[in-house]
Amino acid sequence: MIDRKTVENVAKLARLGMSEEDVTTFQQQLSVILENIKILQDADVSGVSPTAHASRLTSVMRADVPQPSYPPEVLLANAPDQEDNSLKVNAVLEGE
């Protein structure tokens, strides 16, 4: 069973806003899921190296040559807010 504080901390790490009720729901649901997948700890993995991906390729490189890209107005077409061909965001630095 994971506690409320852990749920709140993970939500903060994930930048996921959450109501008090959500915290309760996730605490219950995540506990059930983690309980069910606990069996993973029983696997004998001594001497086994981890697999990060299923691709059978390694170190795929290509020539470092510039390719044509898109004009800014195309890339900004889906932006929630913009100004002078830039994304407009809330102030990042605090203070004056």
Partner 1 sequence: MTELYTLTIHEAADLLRQKKISSVELTKAHLNRIRAVEDKVKAFTLVTDDLALQQAQEADKRIASGADISPLTGIPIAIKDVICTKDILTTAGSRMLEHFKPPFNATIMEKLNAANIVMVGKTNMDEFAMGSSTENSAFFNTHNPWDLQRAPGGSSGGSAAAVAAGMAMGSYGSDTGGSIRQPASLCNLVGVKPTYGRVSRFGLIAFGSSLDQIGPFARNARDAALLLQAIAGKDSRDATSSPNPVPDYTASFTGSIKGMKLGVPQEYWVEGTQPEVIKIVRANIERLREMGAEIVDVSLPHTKYGVSAYYIIAPAEASANLARYDGVKYGYSYRETDDMWEAMEKTRQYGFGAEVKRRIMLGTYALSSGYYDAYYKQAEKVRSLITQDFEQAFAKVDALVSPASPTVAFKLGEISDPYQMYLQDVFTIPANLAGISGVSIPGGFSEGLPVGLQLLGPAFGEEVILRIADAFERETQYHTQWPHNL
The residue ranges that bind partner 1 (CB under 8 A) are: 2, 6-7, 9-11, 13-18, 22, 26, 29-30, 32-34, 36-41, 43, 45, 48-57, 60, 62, 70, 74-75, 77-81, 87, 89-92
Helix (H) or strand (E) holding 27: helix 20-36
Q: How far is the CB of 96 from partner 1 (least distance, A)?
A: 14
Q: Which is nearer to partner 1, 55 or 64 (CB)?
A: 55
Please report the DSSP string for 53-71 in residue order: -------------------
Identify residue 25 by its one-letter amino acid code: T
